[in-house]
Amino acid sequence: MRMLPCADSGLLVELDDLAAVRGLHAALEADPPAGVTDLVPAARTLLLRLDPAKADVAEIERVVRATPPAESADGRDELLRVPVVYDGADLGEVARLTGLTEREVVAEHTGAEWTVAFGGFAPGFGYLTGGSARLEVPRRAESRTRVPAGAVALAGTFSGIYPRESPGGWQLIGRTGLETWRADRDPPALLRPGVRVRFFEETGR
């Protein structure tokens, strides 16, 4: 466990793996130390957002080190089926990078069960893990200034769905009509940590 301060606004806790992140996240969510305003889980880190007026960083570091991991509270048994038209602008590039054919990329993407590991990037965006190891690709060298809502993408070992139009640097392989985010719906995000996801192919419209 490594503690990386973000001035007086945050404490970035670096952990060994995603399981450790989820264990610490669950424990701190149940009993947040004084001065912590929000928790941002990611692949290998948990960011504690701090209220600069209230947080005692040294004390929070001590509490975090002494906190045993907890069982993740989500334990959701939900399976979300996501229809995808596989015609993304980077499908050919992903095939080249992985040494697969475009059809094999689709087969790998639809053949695996993914799980939402954590959110971030945009409201309703879920980082999907546990899919096919053969689909590991780097982010694009240049970010796009505009990626459409519903774009289905890959980066690193993750897959994801852009919940709304935004800039983005992931490799686009397809698109879905599923509305993964609506602020006025309960829950607003379909892709919450713990939700399992299965992609299936829809023919182009």
Nearer to another protein, 37 or 110 (CB): 37
Instruction: For tokens 């879920």, name the residue.
Output: 126
Nearest of 67, 102, 97, 76 to residue 173 by alpha carbon: 102
Answer for the pair 171, 89: CB distance below 8 angstroms, yes or no: no
Q: Which of residues 78-117 bind another protein (CB under 8 A)?
A: none
Q: Using the rule CB under 8 A, which residue among 20, 44, 73, 102 binds another protein?
A: 44
Least distance to another protein, CB of residue 203, Å: 30
| Distance between CA atoms of residues 26 and 105, nearest Å | 34
Q: Using the rule CB under 8 A, which residue among 35, 172, 193, 199 binds another protein?
A: 193
- The interface region with another protein, picked from 46-54, 78-86, 89-97, 171-179 by CB under 8 A, is 46-54
- Cis status, amide bond into 187, omega within 30 of 0: yes
Which residues on neighbouring strands pair with residue 199, listed in sequence order? 82
Using CB under 8 A, list all residues that contact another protein.
4-10, 12, 25, 37-47, 49, 52, 118-125, 127, 138-139, 141, 143, 156, 163-164, 166, 169, 183-184, 187-189, 192-193
